[in-house]
Amino acid sequence: MTNVLEVRNLSKSFGGVQAVKDVNFDLKEGEFLALIGPNGAGKTTCFNMLSGYHKPNTGSVSLRGQALIGHPPRKIWRMGVGRTFQITATFLSMTVVENVQMALISHHRRVFDLFSRATRMFVDEAMALLELVSMQDQAGRACSELAYGDLKRLELAIALAHEPALLLMDEPTAGMAPSERFALMALTAEIVAKGGVSVVFTEHDMDVVFAHAHRILVLNRGELIAEGTGSEIRTNPLVQEVYLGGGSVFEAESAHA
Partner 1 sequence: MGFYFAQLLTGLANASSLFLIASGLSIIFGVTRIVNFAHGSFYMVGAYLAYTLVTLWSGSILGFWVSVILAAMIVGVIGLIIELTILRRIYHAPELFQLVATFGVVLIFQDGTLAIWGAEDLLGPRAPGLDSAVRIMGEPIPEYDLALIAIGPVVLLAIWLLFHKTRWGVLVRAATQDREMVGALGVNQAWLFSAAFVLGSFLAGLGGALQIPREAVSLQMDLSIIGEAFVVVVIGGMGSVSGAFVAAVLISVLNAFAILIFPQISIVLPFIIMAIVLIFRPHGLFGKPGSEKGAPEEPDQPLALMDQKSAMVLMAALLVLALSPLLTADFTSVLMVDVMVATLFAVSLHFMMGVGGMVSFGHAAYFGVGAYGAAMAVKFLGLGMISAMLFGPVCAAMAALFFGWFCVRLSGVYLAMLTLAAAQILWGVTFQWQRFTGGDDGILGVWPAKWASSDKVYFYIAFVLCVGGILALRRVAFSPFGYILRGIRDSQTRAESIGIDTRFHQWMGFVLAGGFAGLAGVVFAFSKGSVFPDSLGIALSIDGLIMVLLGGIHALAGPILGAGAFVLIEDWVTRLDYWRFIFGAIILIVVLVAPDGIAGGIQRLLRGLKGGRA
* Site of interaction with partner 1 (CB under 8 A): 51, 72-74, 77-78, 83, 85, 89-95, 98, 101-103, 105-107, 110-119, 121, 142-144, 158, 161-162
Residue with smaller CB distance to partner 1, 28 or 78: 78
Q: How far apart are CA 143 and CA 88, in angstroms?
A: 11
* Cβ closest to partner 1, residue 135 vs residue 242: 135
- Please, which residue, 144 or 248, has the CB nearer to partner 1? 144
The nearer residue to partner 1, 141 or 204, going by C-beta atoms, is 141
Q: Are 239 and 225 in contact (CB under 8 A)?
A: yes
Q: How far is the CB of 88 from partner 1 (least distance, A)?
A: 9
* Distances 143 to 96, 99, 209 between C-alpha atoms, Å: 5, 8, 28
Q: At residue 246, what is the residue type?
A: G
Nearer to partner 1, 162 or 234 (CB): 162
- Count CB atoms within 10 A of the CB of residue 177: 12
At closest approach, how far in Å is the CB of 68 from partner 1?
A: 14
In this complex, which beta carbon is closest to partner 1, that of residue 60 or of residue 106? Answer: 106
Amino acid (one-letter) located at 47: F
CB of residue 24 to partner 1, shortest distance in Å: 25
Nearest Cα to Cα of residue 6 among 23, 26, 21: 26
Long-range contacts of 189-194 (CB under 8 A, 24+ apart): 189/32, 191/132, 191/156, 191/160, 192/30, 192/31, 192/32, 193/30
Q: How far is the CB of 172 from partner 1 (least distance, A)?
A: 15
Apex 41 CA angle, 236 and 160, nearest 5:
95
DSSP-assigned states of every residue in 84-117: E-SS----TTSBHHHHHHHHHHHHTT-TT-SSS-
